[in-house]
């Protein structure tokens, strides 16, 4: 299934993830930044296709709108998007005393973001 206009960014994230050896956690953190950017663009577009104008509203507001607009047609969509956004936000804003996300955590986040992008590309 197509990932729409986000395919290039998701492919770049995949390449970074595969080459995470020498720089390890820094590559994984870069992947998380890319994934969060793709996710934010995706759910903002999904809200826009339903006729809601988000303007400069926060991502939390956009996620609430996503939940309200898709609760009948795709009830799991908003929950998946919100879960991924929360986890990605924690991953990219870590303090020095916190562990970086693991490869398996980032792979799971990649899957979640890809699922939202696939839904948007339909």
The percent of residues above 90 in pLDDT, for the chain, comes to 25
At 1 the pLDDT is 42
- Tell me the pLDDT tens digit for each residue of 87-120: 999 888 877 777 778 888 989 999 999 999 988 8
Q: What is the domain-level CATH number for residue 109?
A: 1.20.120
The CA distance from 74 to 28, in Å, is: 30
3 state DSSP class of 9: helix
The percent of residues above 70 in pLDDT, for the chain, comes to 90
- In total, how many domains does the chain have? 1
- Whether pTM > 0.75 for this model: the answer is yes
Among the listed residues 32, 23, 96, 57, the one whose alpha carbon sits nearest the alpha carbon of residue 9: 32
Q: Which domain holds residue 107?
A: 4-121
Retrieve residue 57's tokens. 């509203």
At 86 the pLDDT is 92
Among the listed residues 47, 112, 60, the one whose alpha carbon sits nearest the alpha carbon of residue 84: 112
The residue with tokens 């590559």 is 27
């Amino acid at each position: 299934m197509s990932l729409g206009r986000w395919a290039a960014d998701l492919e770049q994230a995949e390449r970074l993830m595969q080459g995470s050896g020498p720089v390890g956690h820094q590559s994984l953190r870069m992947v998380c930044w890319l994934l969060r950017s793709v996710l934010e663009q995706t759910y903002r577009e999904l809200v826009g296709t339903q006729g809601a104008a988000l303007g400069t509203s926060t991502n939390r507001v956009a996620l609430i709108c996503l939940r309200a607009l898709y609760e009948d047609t795709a009830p799991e969509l908003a929950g998946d998007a919100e879960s991924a956004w929360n986890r990605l936000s924690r991953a990219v804003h870590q303090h020095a005393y916190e562990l970086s996300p693991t490869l398996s955590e980032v792979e799971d986040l990649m899957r979640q973001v890809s699922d939202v992008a696939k839904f948007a590309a339909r």
